[in-house]
A = this chain, B = another copy of it.
């Protein structure tokens, strides 16, 4: 199926959605279906913290543009984790906002990216996506004690566990994309020269990599999707990705890694979260978010090294860790005002 067909299909579903409210008991079947589609799209939007189905749809378009396999994976993952939440009777408003969708979306795309394709892999993806729902609920309870969000932690844990497990499972093979297990080297040299093209490619790749997509056009589509949902979020993502590039360049990171967006996608997410979601934007919170964004680059470099002996990628663990710490610390710093949401 080609991208434009998918878009047409989804757009026709979207047209039916005339309300953002939940599907009610008395709703007709088509209306229920439309509501479910809207919920799934919000789930995809929530990958970048946007409760907006149009943004989610555009994310999907961006992914299908690059590789339709990943588009299907995202749909399967989001549907599975959302449906699991509904089957278990999770709170309607949370499900409706796509909260139980985004980790399923990411786990599915992650497993498809790291594992060889066969029928068992698809089953494995369904199992993993269903697991994210339980892990999210567990984290909602755990972190709710401090009013801290779960973010993409269920995705990180589930992907790491499900990929790592394959070393014991002869019928599930990993692809060459996965880093080779090795001992971290103490020394590194400055590799390659950062040019304008590095920065430009890195900037949009940094946003595309949030969904494992190494494609500038996809990155541009994602940025537009964000801007539609929230101008502040869109600008924060771009500035976050740019900060990632800048800091990595100053510290002497390898040029190909900078160009690929590796140093940008966690920083972009950190910037979106702190600037547009968890704090009211002012001078203090902007400075606070800048510190967090810079620290995210360091934590990304550290996590990449820490996971090297396991041959595992850092995924969005730096974003999760840094935003957890900075949100947790917030109330002790009265200069920062927590956003109402």
Contacts and interface: CB of A to CB of B under 8 A. Distances in A.
A340 interface: no
A291 B137 CA distance: 15
A186 B190 contact: no
- Oligomer: number of copies: 3
A178 B186 contact: yes
A250 B120 contact: yes
A69 interface: no
- Give chain A's interface secondary structure class: helix
Interface residues of A, number: 81
Nearest to A146: B141
A200 interface: no
A330 B236 CA distance: 36
Nearest to A164: B302
Interface string A165-178: 11111111110001
A324 B139 CA distance: 11
A80 to B, nearest CB: 12
Contacts of A299: 161, 165
A235 interface: no
A298 B127 contact: yes
A3 interface: no
Residue from A161, A310, A336 whose CB has the most chain B CB atoms within 10 Å: A161
Interface string A322-339: 001110110111111000
Nearest to A251: B169
Interface of A: 87-91, 120, 127, 130-131, 134-138, 140-142, 145-146, 160-162, 164-174, 178, 180-191, 248, 250-254, 257, 284, 288, 291-292, 294-295, 298-302, 304-306, 309-311, 324-326, 328-329, 331-336
CB-CB nearest 4 A-B residue pairs: A170-B252, A171-B252, A170-B190, A137-B329
6 contacts: A161-B299, A161-B302, A166-B301, A170-B191, A181-B183, A309-B309
